[in-house]
Structure 1
Amino acid sequence: MNPWVRRVLTVVVPFFAPFFIAACDQNGNFVQEAGLEKLNRGVSSEADVRNAMGEPDTVWEKEDGERTLEYPKGPAGARTWMFYIGKDGKLSDYKQVLTEENFARIKVGMRKEEVRQMLGRPRTVVQFKRKNEEVWDWRYTQSDASQAFFNVHMDITSGLVTGTSVSQMYGH
């Protein structure tokens, strides 16, 4: 090996190694969000989720006793986590909801409350009164790792979805 490369590796690798280790769980798996490594589906309680993730932005309660805890990581972040707590008080599942697959589930005619529960708090809400349109957006990471905004267009009067669009981020 080239002596210069060896020298760089002996200086650079030890410096950056703690950062890579900190981003992994006990088994060496990459951690998507700080705190997730402390949680186990079917085992962790709602209190465990709150201890690991902090206080949720919103708690969605269903009539059957199930709850969803919402953790948006915006406006600069590109993730929103939803933690699903079963009737038994245990963590049944969690997922990052700002994904292209989830966006595809947003359909014309949906109520704004349904969109809010599916995607979490929008980054911005802008009204275009002359068009009777309200647009919500979420920053997200596309499959090619670039950043973009997913936009949901709604009729102001009815509160129903009229369409969706994606805006590319430039200069990032």
Structure 2
Amino acid sequence: MRWMRYLAVILAAVFTFGCDNQGRPVQEFGLDKLSKGVSSEGDVRMVMGKPDTVREEEDGSRTLEYPKGPEGARTWMFSIGKDGVLRDYKQVLTEENFARIKQGMTQDEIRWMLGKPRTVVQYKLKNEEVWDWKYMADSTTPRLFNVHFDIGTRKVTRTSTSDATNY
């Protein structure tokens, strides 16, 4: 009986640690410390670390890119206003975001939309370059989202998905 109480306490601690202040599962540890419209770029860097990429926008705002998770299964984009305040953040490796990719888009457009790809492979006989991102299809199933580009034009020709359990 005593060991069951210990087990219950341990499980409660584990589940509490993985939840935010409202009891919702944490998407990324540290996000609960950031507030849109309040937190500074310094706060974001303190919580998330050094960004993989920083994109400077013409209006003085910035986008910070953070590939996270095992082999980049999540990529977070943080929008920082020209005043240095956090405007928004989002996880970009989602089915909804993938559906926005259309034939004819450029490699730069895809790079800024999805972040740094996991791999880039050229198939010269097919005149094709394929970028892929590992993501979680239903929170538990690893998948690869692939964007196929024409090597000459560097524009999207198509997209595809594949099983990532063997990668």
How does the TM-score come out when normalised to structure 2? 0.92
Aligned match of 2:10 in 6, 9, 15?
15
Aligned partners of 1:76 and 1:139 also within 8 Å: yes
CA distance in 2, matches of 1:45, 1:28: 25
Paired residue for 1:135? Answer: 130
SS in 2 for 1:44: coil
1:93-172 map, 5 Å? 93-143=88-138, 145-170=140-165
Distance 1:50 1:62, change over 3 A: same
Q: 1:116 to 1:28 in 2, by over 3 A?
A: same
| TM-score normalised according to structure 1 size | 0.89
Gaps of 5+ in 1: 1-5
Query: How many angstroms does 1:165 deviate by?
Result: 0.1
Letter in 1 for 2:147: V
Q: Tell me by how many angstroms 1:7 deviates.
A: 6.1
Paired AA for residue 142 in structure 1: A
Tell me the distance in 1 between the aligned counterparts of 2:113 and 2:87. Answer: 17
Q: Is there any run of 5+ residues in structure 2 with no aligned partner, and where?
A: none
Match of 1:89 in 2: 84
Tell me the CA shift for residue 44 of structure 1.
0.4
User: Kindly tell me: are residues 54 and 163 of structure 1, through their superposed partners in 2, closer, same or farther at Cα, counting changes over 3 Å?
Assistant: same
Report the RMSD for the aligned CA atoms in angstroms.
Answer: 1.8
Identity, in percent, stands at 61
Number of aligned positions between the proteins: 167
Query: Aligned partner of 1:87: which letter?
Result: K
Indicate conservation of the 8 Å contact 1:60/1:67, yes or no. yes
In structure 2, how many angstroms separate the alpha carbons of the residues matched to 1:171 and 1:58?
A: 28
Q: 3-state SS of the aligned residue for 1:16?
A: helix
- Provide the C-alpha distance between the structure 1 equivalents of 2:139 and 2:66, rounded to a whole number of angstroms: 24
Q: Which residue of 67, 71, 79 corresponds with 1:76?
A: 71
Task: Give the Å deviation of 1:18.
Answer: 2.1
Residues 1:41 and 2:36 aligned together = yes
Distance 2:3 2:128 in 1: 56
